Chain A
Amino acid sequence: MLEQSYYDKADEIISTYGPNPASLIPIMQDIQAEYRYLPAELLTYVAGKIGVTKAKAYSVATFYENFSFEAKGKYVIKVCDGTACHVKKSMPVLEALYKKLGLSPEKHTTDDMMFTVETVSCLGACGLAPTMMVNEEVHPRMTPEAAEALIDELRGGEKE
């Protein structure tokens, strides 16, 4: 069971868009923005409130790559593996991050819930390839070393 605060937050978000089926996607987006994932119980709760079936809500959530039912880390790192970034050696950047954080294509998030590493198909910044995003911030012309340094920096920032 989720804490009551989650349901209160969901109610607040639902009231922003109105309790109707057409509000499903913006509500899911706001919930994901709030918690960095879609808690399953909360999606079921929202579905009931706005008059869509639980099956439909789940169907929509699994159609879009962006929605996740797994809790993500504080820093969500999206390594671009689009054509431009790929030829500019984005894979070594990804490998370096995996190695540094003990992650893999199967395990996306560190146990301390600090980092999630994913790949995306294109960030639309091919001129800056290879690129990656940390939450909302774009990091251009990455190298494995720069990626590792960035992790240390983010960890360091936390310690202070």
Chain B
Amino acid sequence: MIHLKIDGIPVEVEKGTTVLAAAKKIGVKIPTLCYLENLLPDGSCRICVVEITANGRSWVDTACTAQCSEGWEVDTMSAKVVDSRRKTLDLLLSEHTISCFRCEANGDCKLQDLCVDYGVEKTSYSVEQKAKPIDDTNKFFTYDPNKCILCHRCVNTCNEIVGCGAIDTMNRGFSSVIGAPFDDTWFTSKCESCGNCVAACPTGALSMKRRKKYRKYQVEKKVLTTCPHCATGCQYYVLVKDGKVVDTEAYNGPSNKGLLCVKGRSGSFDFAQSPERLKYPLIKNKETGEFERATWDEALDLVASKFMELKKKYGSDALAGFACSRSPNEDIYMVQKMVRTCFGTNNTDNCARVCHSASVSGLAMTLGSGAMTNPIEDITQKPDVIMLVGSNPEEAHPVVGMQIRQAVKRGCKLIVVDPRDIGLAKRADIHLKLKPGTNVAFANGMMHVIIEEGLQDDKFIAERTEGYDKIKEIVKEYTPERVAEICHINADDLREAARMYAKADKAPIIYCLGVTEHSTGTEGVMSMSNMALLVGKLGREGCGVNPLRGQNNVQGACDMGAQPGDFPGYQKVANPEVVEKFEKAWGVPLNHTPGTHATDVFPKAITGEVKGLYIYGEDPVVTDPDTTHIIKALENLEFFVIQELFMTETAQYADVILPGASYLEKEGTFTNTERRVQRVRKAIDSPGEARLDTDIIIDLMNRMGYPQKHMTAAEIMDEIASLTPSFGGISHARLDSEEVGGRGLQWPCPTKDHPGTYIMHVGKFTRGLGWFYPAEYVPSAELPDEEYPIILMTGRILYHYTTRAMTGKTPELMEIEGKSFIEMNIVDADKLGIKNGDKVRVSSRRGSIESTARVGTKTSPGESWMPFHFPDGNANWLTNAALDKYARIPEYKVCAVKIEKA
């Protein structure tokens, strides 16, 4: 240990500690401009200088770079130090346009603060500053080099923390500016518009364009909440002025570490304040087919009486109700409670059915719990190797993507298993560009190599698993050569990947919809757990099987029992004791038969078995496969109610539309992909007569004859906790407490004094022993043939979320990416005479759409890929509703199409 004195205060630090860190330890503040925590010091701004005295001499040095030595006496505010800081500020001002009056950062500028502190009003140098051109091209922010002090915080953030590397310092000396290379602008560069650079800028050089609309002191309140897009669960404040959210500010949450992506920072509040929000209940006039404004009493009376009429006429199971995976746990709990107590059926579900239901059912079967085993920080900071299968986190879970890039920068090896050249494939040590729909063959091939080379964990297999002998027999047939042929990969690459994964001390499998959205999705998921079980990489840090869940609260929607076979907390409908428990708690007899999955409800609506449907916040016309058959099903219903924010494609088919509240208008909780329950807090009021969704449900329940007392979100969470063992210790009061400290609680959290579960399956699996599922490779349901020769995959892009109901309301996001496109291989394109940018017609057995071709090598020959966000050519007119046998998840990732020049 090293001993020194800072401003006369003795401090003991480890060797290698900087003076800045030592001062922080004892609460001595040293000003900084360029310093970024957790990174190597830049040392360029010279503001953090201190005077150091040792061995009879003294000198001035930068506190961020000077490493403490024994016996040093450090003065952080000596006359020399103050003089040096003044001179530095004087020099900085000589190249900084003083335009504080019209600068967005006025009152929120570190340079301004320091100049005030040190009494520097203007520069003493008489150089004339040459105006440098402003880069205003980015849709969300502006770079003004005339205000830039070249501290490089933006560059270091972009390179080292975000891992994008779009910008750097260009030129030298007086002509230095921050920017994109060559003739690129901020917009045409590979900048992802995440704005983390803007948040890092200490002056007004980089500033969000929306800062022009408010001054810092006009912000009435800052409300900490959880992002409503993907399931990373990023934490941020929303800034409210005049009852409107005007901006966001990242919070250092456990999963986002102070980072946000473009959707979270800039696409998470426009939609809530959009003029397109539904403001009044609407009832469809049967004669004209037009929606007409109704009072809440009229609408609720109609909905309640109609559902009860249908129940009487056709029986309980002719009704169904879906909950919304974007809404808080409390809302979802109430929807399934209404369906079970009032409708009298278990026909309740949520959109996990079409994204990660295979993870829920698959991992429940093999491990006992259908959720991510390890937290995000654990699987990005700890591992030696990351194996990423069917997941494009840079676009679908951007803040997880940023943390994986950081891991790779630190030297963590990366195996990418994906049919496309996704961004992370370029940074991967091995990229297995496999044919879509061959995940089971790939996993069996990996296991073949691991067993053949004796790399399996025999002790783990013997002590903690069952079913090994059977899987060992099966994978014998999956030689690397055979797998290479099935998957269209190189056998030696497969061998190398197997060795890399098996030999690593810590290696998580991270996967996503590329594994689940297949007719063999559940088996694909179980193949992931098979691999992890084989090498004992479960139940410990830096390992596990980790599905990146899709929506902000899709984990919660499953946890809350919006599933036909599960009550909250995965308590089984098939277990009579469980049903009895809920009958007692809710005070009414309940249906003992597991219900119908959402993907089976639509076919049943066509056949007339389902007559009444209640949808809370889903848009299956856009999101479900085979649009034609969804529309047919909706048209065939006798009564269809939707509770929504917007007039969606699906809402057009409803008989009654009930306007609900967005996440900014309510209290509640979201459960992120790592099982972390985090708070959602009210910041603004709902427009018009739109109401809290839980209030709407409670009113309906009472009108349908169930005496449901009014409850706040906090009271609903208390009821959830009382009935759900894994949520037993969770309450709003505890989540808001100092004990939890803004880190949320990860279930299982059975009691009030339980800290939550960081890593699952430590020492013992939830189901007891981990089970090797005997998975055999089965080809996709629809394979290419002569008429439809190309495989179509679907997916998501960085700038939009699912139906675009939310992100589409942010005009800047639409300007960046606003139209349908299809990625295809250049070999196929050449054969078909299609060039990059051409209009093309894409057809499958189910439908035909127009789109724009993006020709390249991102997909392999014979394969193509489309996002499903855009109404002008939605891929779901084409996709196949072939369902997985366990989870009933549709095969979005593989269908056969033909592409022609339009």
Which A residues from 58 to 104 make CB contacts under 8 A with B?
A: 58-59, 62-65
From B165, B169, B182, contact of A53 by CB (8 A):
B165
Would you call B633 an interface residue if the criterion is a C-beta within 8 Å of the partner chain's C-beta atoms?
Answer: no
Residues of A within 8 A of B171 (CB): 62-63
State how many angstroms separate the Cβ of A85 from the closest Cβ of chain B.
Answer: 22
- Is A9 part of the binding interface, using a Cβ–Cβ cutoff of 8 Å? no
Tell which of A44, A54, A65 has the most Cβ of chain B within 10 Å: A54
> Does A2 touch B at the CB level, under 8 Å?
no
Query: Separation in Å of the B345 CB from the closest CB of chain A?
Result: 56
Q: Which residue of B lies closest to A57 (CB)?
A: B181
Q: Is A56 an interface residue (CB 8 A)?
A: yes
Q: How far is the CB of B565 from chain A (nearest CB, A)?
A: 49
Picked from B166, B170, B180, the residue with its CB within 8 Å of the CB of A62 is: B170
CA distance A65 to B171 in the complex (A): 9
B167 at the interface (CB under 8 A from A): yes
Contact, CB under 8 Å: A55 / B172: no
Q: Measured between alpha carbons, how far is A80 from B168 in the docked complex, in Å?
A: 32
Chain B residues, Cβ within 8 Å of A53: 159, 165-166, 168
Q: Looking at the complex, which one of A40, A44, A59, A65 makes contact with B169 (CB distance below 8 Å)?
A: A59
Q: Does B189 contact A (CB under 8 A)?
A: yes
Which of A58, A63, A64, A65 touches B181 (beta carbons < 8 Å)?
A: A58
Chain B residues positioned under 8 Å from A56 (CB to CB): 159, 165, 168
Residue of A nearest to B409 (CB): A51
Closest Cβ neighbor of B183 among chain A residues: A40
CB-based nearest A residue for B181: A58
Nearest CB in chain B to that of A51: its residue = B427
Q: List chain A residues, Cβ under 8 A from B168.
A: 53, 55-56, 58-59
Residue of B nearest to A41 (CB): B182
The smallest beta-carbon distance between B717 and chain A, in angstroms, is 46
Across-interface contacts of A57 in B (CB, < 8 A): 181
B545 shortest CB reach to chain A, Å: 30
Interface residues on A, range: 10 to 19
What separation, in Å, do the CA atoms of A59 and B165 have in the docked complex?
12
Q: How far is the CA of A63 from the CA of B189 in the complex (A)?
A: 20
Choose among B159, B165, B168, B189 the residue with the greatest number of A CB atoms under 10 Å from its CB. Answer: B168
Separation of A40 and B182 alpha carbons in the complex (Å) = 8
Instruction: Give the Cβ gap from A120 to chain B, nearest Cβ, in Å.
Output: 15
Report the Cα distance A141→B180, complex, angstroms.
44
How many A-B Cβ pairs are below 8 Å?
Answer: 38
Chain B residues near A63 (CB-CB < 8 A): 169, 171-172
- Chain B residues whose CB sits within 8 angstroms of the CB of A54 once the complex forms: 165, 181-182, 190
A53-B159, A63-B172 known; A58-B165 Cβ under 8 A: no
Interface residues of B, count at CB 8 A: 14
CA distance A59 to B170 in the complex (A): 5
Which of A40, A44, A55 makes the CB contact (< 8 A) with B166? A55
CA distance A63 to B166 in the complex (A): 17
Give the docked Cα–Cα distance between A87 and B159 (Å). 46
In the complex, residue of chain A having the shortest beta-carbon distance to the beta carbon of B180: A55
Chain A residues with Cβ below 8 Å from B172 are: 62-65
The chain B residue sitting closest to A48, CB to CB, is B426
Q: How far is the CA of A62 from the CA of B175 in the complex (A)?
A: 10
Q: Are B170 and A58 in contact (CB under 8 A)?
A: yes
Query: B445 CB to closest chain A CB, in angstroms?
Result: 29
176-205 of chain B: CB within 8 A of chain A = 180-182, 189-190
A62 to B181, CA, bound (A): 10
Interface centre among A54, A55, A56, A64 (most CB of B within 10 A): A55
Q: Which residues of A contact B182 (CB under 8 A)?
A: 40, 44, 54, 58
Task: Report A92 CB to chain B, min CB distance, Å.
Answer: 28
A53 to B190: give the CA distance in the assembly, Å.
10
- In the complex, A53→B166 CA distance in Å? 8
Cα distance A55–B177 in the bound complex, in angstroms: 12
Residues of A within 8 A of B189 (CB): 55
Which chain B positions have C-beta within 8 A of A65? Answer: 172
**Beta-carbon nearest neighbor of B163 in chain A:** A53
Whole-angstrom distance between the Cβ of A55 and the nearest chain B Cβ: 4
Residues of B within 8 A of A44 (CB): 181-182
Mark each residue of chain A from 39 to 53: 1 if its CB lies under 8 Å from any CB of chain B, else 0: 010001000000001
What chain A residues lie within 8 Å of B166 (beta carbons)?
A: 53, 55
> Complex formed: what's the CA distance from A64 to B169 in Å?
13
Find chain A residues with CB under 8 A from B169 CB: 59, 63
- Tell me the smallest distance from the CB of A57 to a CB of chain B, in Å: 7
By a CB distance below 8 angstroms, the chain A residues around B181 are 44, 54-55, 57-59
CB nearest neighbor in A for B189 = A55
A41 to chain B, nearest CB (A): 10
Nearest CB to that of A58 among chain B residues?
B181
* Whole-angstrom distance between the Cβ of B173 and the nearest chain A Cβ: 9
Contacts of B167 in A (CB 8 A): 55
**By CB atoms of chain B within 10 A, which of A40, A44, A58 has the most?**
A58
CA distance A62 to B168 in the complex (A): 11
CB nearest neighbor in B for A63: B172
CA distance in complex: A53, B181 (Å): 10
Q: Nearest Cβ distance between residue A128 and chain B, in whole angstroms?
A: 29
Q: Please, how many angstroms separate the alpha-carbon atoms of A57 and B180 in the complex?
A: 11
Q: How far is the CA of A40 from the CA of B165 in the complex (A)?
A: 18
Give complex CA distance A44, B181 in Å.
9
Q: In the bound complex, what is the Cα–Cα distance between A63 and B168 (angstroms)?
A: 11
Residues of A within 8 A of B190 (CB): 54
Distance of A58 Cα from B190 Cα, bound (Å): 14
User: For residues 835 through 888 of chain B, which have their beta carbon under 8 Å from a beta carbon of chain A?
Assistant: none
B113 to chain A, nearest CB (A): 29
A58 vs B178: C-alpha distance in the bound complex, in angstroms? 12
A76 CB to nearest B CB, Å: 20
Q: Chain B residue with minimal CB distance to A53?
A: B165
Least distance between A28 CB and chain B CB atoms (Å): 14
Alpha-carbon gap, A62 to B190, bound state (A): 19
Nearest Cβ in chain A — how far from B554, in angstroms?
Answer: 34
A53 to B179, CA, bound (A): 13
Complex formed: what's the CA distance from A63 to B173 in Å? 8
Complex alpha-carbon distance, A57 and B168, angstroms: 9
Residues of B within 8 A of A62 (CB): 170-172
**Shortest CB–CB separation between residue B171 and chain A, in angstroms?**
5
CB-based nearest A residue for B158: A55
A62 CB to closest chain B CB, in angstroms?
A: 5
CA distance A133 to B189 in the complex (A): 39
Cα distance, A55 to B165, chains bound together (Å): 7
Chain A residues closer than 8 Å to B180, beta-carbon distance: 55
Instruction: Report Cα–Cα, A65/B172, bound state, in Å.
Output: 9
Residue of B165, B166, B171, B182 with most chain A CB atoms under a 10 A cut-off: B182
A65 to B175, CA, bound (A): 13
Inter-chain CA distance A54–B183, complex, in Å, is: 12
How long is the Cα–Cα vector from A56 to B158 in the complex, in angstroms?
Answer: 11
> Bound state CA distance, A62 and B173, in angstroms?
11
Q: Return the chain A residue nearest B164 by Cβ.
A: A53
User: Chain B contacts of A55 at CB under 8 A?
Assistant: 165-168, 180-181, 189
For B170, list chain A residues within 8 Å (CB): 58-59, 62
Nearest-neighbour CB distance to chain A for B315, whole angstroms, equals 63
Give B264 Cβ to nearest chain A Cβ, in Å: 24
Complex CA distance for A64 and B171, rounded to whole angstroms: 8
Distance A40 CA – B183 CA, assembled complex (angstroms): 10
Chain A residue with the shortest CB-CB distance to B166: A55
Give the docked Cα–Cα distance between A40 and B181 (Å): 10
Apart from A55-B166, A62-B170: 15 A-B pairs, beta carbons within 8 A: A53-B165, A53-B168, A54-B181, A54-B190, A55-B165, A55-B180, A55-B189, A56-B159, A57-B181, A58-B170, A58-B182, A59-B168, A59-B181, A63-B169, A64-B172
**CB<8 Å pairs between A and B, sample of 19:** A40-B182, A44-B182, A53-B159, A53-B165, A54-B165, A54-B181, A54-B182, A55-B165, A55-B167, A55-B168, A56-B168, A57-B181, A59-B168, A59-B181, A62-B171, A62-B172, A63-B169, A63-B172, A64-B172
Question: Which 10 pairs across A and B sit closest by C-beta, in order of nearness?
Answer: A53-B165, A58-B181, A59-B168, A55-B168, A55-B181, A62-B171, A63-B172, A54-B181, A56-B168, A62-B170
Q: Which chain B residues have a beta carbon within 8 Å of chain A's beta carbons?
A: 159, 165-172, 180-182, 189-190
